[in-house]
Amino acid sequence: MASKAKAKAKPNAPKTKIAIPPPRLDYARLLSDPEATARNVRERAMPLPSDVVAELGRLREQALSLETQLNRTRHEQGLASASLRDTKDKDGKAAAVARARELKEAVQALEREHREVEDTLLRVAGSLPNFSNPAAPIGAEENATTLETFGPERLPASPLRDHVDVADRFGWLDNAASAIATGTSWPFLLGALAQLEHALVGYAVDMAAREGFTPVSPPDVVAVDIAARCGFQPRDGPGEDAPRQTYTIESEGERQLCLTGTAEVPLAALWANRTLGADQMPARVVGVGKAFRAEAGARGADTRGLYRVHQFTKVELFAVTTAEQNRVLDMPTQELGASAARKYDMEAWMPGRGKWGEITSTSNCTDYQARRLHIRYKDAEGTHFAHTLNGTAAAVPRLIVALLENGAKIEDGEVTGVQLPRVLERYWVGNLPEHVEWK
């Protein structure tokens, strides 16, 4: 037989032959109050059909009715085999054989139909976001509540402090080289900025490890199926025209792979299909990964400089907890990723941009990811789905923007250097470059 040409998987039709069981979603909870589920989708402004919950209800009923028919037909099949064994006369035997064959085919057809409906049910339910925490503010970004403001007095906004100009002035960014190597928004950090990246990563990992997070170096490529189970879809909405969120890559073998949008995905996969003991909880890790964002600059915002880029280094915290454990780790509903119930962002003042900019984000995903990845724990009462929490310890380019724009030293209307926080000194590699000093 001619060898089968290796099929190139389409981004939206991932081939996902994977040995972990399908997500175990709580249909009863999703359908116990259909109006509440529909309101949750609306409040999060998810690009889903308006009748998605009604569709879910119909599919669930259809699946149950097929299951009932299947059970009844299997029961009849059992009776027919028994009668086949017991029938001795020739004519009766032939009739019983025909009947058994008929029932076997009916069972197979019902099984097929049931499986198809179950698959659709899982796909539709899987597209629903997690329930928002009732205390999360409702609406778009401007409805966020400020919980706390700290740090020194804000510097006045000033175009002189623009991080791109500061970095260009001292030769720390090379946009011409970026354009040749890859393209815009794929930055080359040179000299002081590359050293600053090492220092920030060292500082963040050190702090997290001292707090009891186990350091992990995760892969930066994950299976599309695993990313989807964590709440990341290849596209930002249905259809081929929706902006792409992730970069899918040419894959070897059965599984469609993509570049990680955040190390949260491989860190969550670390516990997939496992059951932890109650004494192992909370399980906490800190991972350094590359984050790849296909959509950076897609909406024409912040295409300049380091604020939104296609690739960056990120130190990520991830915890698996019981439903009760956790400490507080408030973003409005439309700002929550599909899996999060509540999200806290921290913003830094960026005087060169003249705006506040998000530098970290921490999400409570309750059991959304755990149900999809089968992350469980066992205690005296039995086995339960765990809760997962994730947060940024350091998103390097955003911190560089904040540090350059706040640290720029201005003399006689000119930037003469940059002052960096002394806590980074311990983590600095090599010599302190010209134009950089500790504050």
Ligand X SMILES: *[C@@H]1O[C@H](CO)[C@@H](O)[C@H](O)[C@H]1NC(C)=O
Residues that bind ligand X (CB under 6 A): 19-20, 26, 29-30, 64, 67-68, 71, 128, 130-131, 133, 138-140, 142-143, 230-231, 262, 264, 273, 316, 323, 326-329, 337, 339-342, 361, 363-368, 371, 389-392
Determine if residue 405 is labeled as part of a ligand binding site: no
Task: Output 103 or 418, the one with its CB closest to ligand X.
Answer: 103
3-state secondary structure of 211: coil
Say which residues have a Cβ less than 8 Å from residue 67's Cβ, sequence separation at least 6: 114
Task: Output 131 or 188, the one with its CB closest to ligand X.
Answer: 131
Identify the CA nearest to 429 among candidates 154, 139, 206, 191.
191
Task: Output 68 or 280, the one with its CB closest to ligand X.
Answer: 68
Minimum CB separation from ligand X for residue 323, in Å? 6
Determine if residue 361 is labeled as part of a ligand binding site: yes
Determine if residue 163 is labeled as part of a ligand binding site: no
Identify the CA nearest to 297 among candidates 311, 317, 282, 284.
311
Determine if residue 310 is labeled as part of a ligand binding site: yes
Distance separating alpha carbons of residues 161 and 168, to the nearest angstrom: 12
Determine if residue 293 is labeled as part of a ligand binding site: yes
Task: Output 166 or 393, the one with its CB closest to ligand X.
Answer: 393
Determine if residue 20 is labeled as part of a ligand binding site: no
Task: Output 93 or 299, the one with its CB closest to ligand X.
Answer: 299
Minimum CB separation from ligand X for residue 419, in Å? 28
Structure tokens at 288: 């350094």
Packing angle between helix 52-86 and helix 34-43, nearest 10 degrees?
130
Q: Is 205 buried (19+), middle (13-18) or exposed (0-12) by CB count in 10 A?
A: buried
Cis peptide before 282 (omega within 30 of 0): yes
Partners of residue 411 on adjacent β-strands: 414
The pairing of strands 375-379 and 408-411 is: unpaired
Task: Output 225 or 264, the one with its CB closest to ligand X.
Answer: 264
Quickly tell me which residue has 């309101």 as its tokens. Answer: 39
What is the rounded end-to-end Cα distance, in angstroms, of the chain? 72
Task: Output 185 or 339, the one with its CB closest to ligand X.
Answer: 339
Distance separating alpha carbons of residues 224 and 259, to the nearest angstrom: 9
Minimum CB separation from ligand X for residue 102, in Å? 21
Distance separating alpha carbons of residues 367 and 365, to the nearest angstrom: 6
Burial 128-145 (b: 16+ CB within 10 A, else e): bbbbbeeebbeeeeeebe
Task: Output 203 or 312, the one with its CB closest to ligand X.
Answer: 312
In order of 128, 140, 146, 203, 343, the CA distances from 340 in angstroms are 11, 15, 19, 27, 7
Minimum CB separation from ligand X for residue 81, in Å? 17
Determine if residue 360 is labeled as part of a ligand binding site: yes
Identify the CA nearest to 193 among candidates 439, 424, 426.
424
**What does DSSP assign to residue 241?**
T
Give all strands of the β-sheet with 221-223 in edge-to-edge order.
Answer: 221-223, 257-259, 248-249
Task: Output 139 or 191, the one with its CB closest to ligand X.
Answer: 139
Determine if residue 295 is labeled as part of a ligand binding site: yes
Minimum CB separation from ligand X for residue 45, in Å? 9
Minimum CB separation from ligand X for residue 329, in Å? 5
Minimum CB separation from ligand X for residue 130, in Å? 4
Sign for the CA dihedral angle at 166, 302, 205, 145 comes to positive
Minimum CB separation from ligand X for residue 276, in Å? 13
Minimum CB separation from ligand X for residue 171, in Å? 31
Residue ranges for the known binding site for ATP are: 293-295, 309-312, 358-361
Per the annotation, where are the binding residues?
262, 293-295, 309-312, 316, 358-361, 390
